[in-house]
Amino acid sequence: MQTRLNAAPSGGGVIEAKRKASKMAGVEDVADELGIGLNLAYALMQAGKIPGTMRLGRRYLVSRVTLAKITNGDMTITV
């Protein structure tokens, strides 16, 4: 019987790392950064309340630079 010493880690960590390294933030990232729920994040992005939000297919995305400006207080959103 052979044992694999160099087994690859589960894909979850790799996908999470790629998502964090992306220049665009999805709804989950927006919710995490702003400390709000997913439903509110979807609602804000769908209504265009978060500047620069774009829809690609079924996904809503916003630039991480814009998200950083919102969290730093350089840019405001109205609810």
Residue 79 resides in a domain: no
Q: Is residue 15 part of a domain?
A: no
Query: Is 44 among the domain residues?
Result: yes
Does residue 77 belong to any structural domain of this protein? no
Residue 10 — pLDDT band, cuts 50, 70, 90?
low
Name the domain count of the chain.
Answer: 1
Per-residue pLDDT reduced to its tens digit, 20-63: 778 999 999 999 999 999 999 999 999 999 999 999 999 999 99
φ, ψ for residue 12, nearest 5 deg: -60, -40
Segments forming the whole domain that contains residue 40 = 23-72
What is the domain-level CATH number for residue 49? 1.10.10.10
2 is a domain residue: no
Parallel, antiparallel or unpaired: strands 24-25 and 54-56: unpaired
pTM above 0.75, yes or no: no
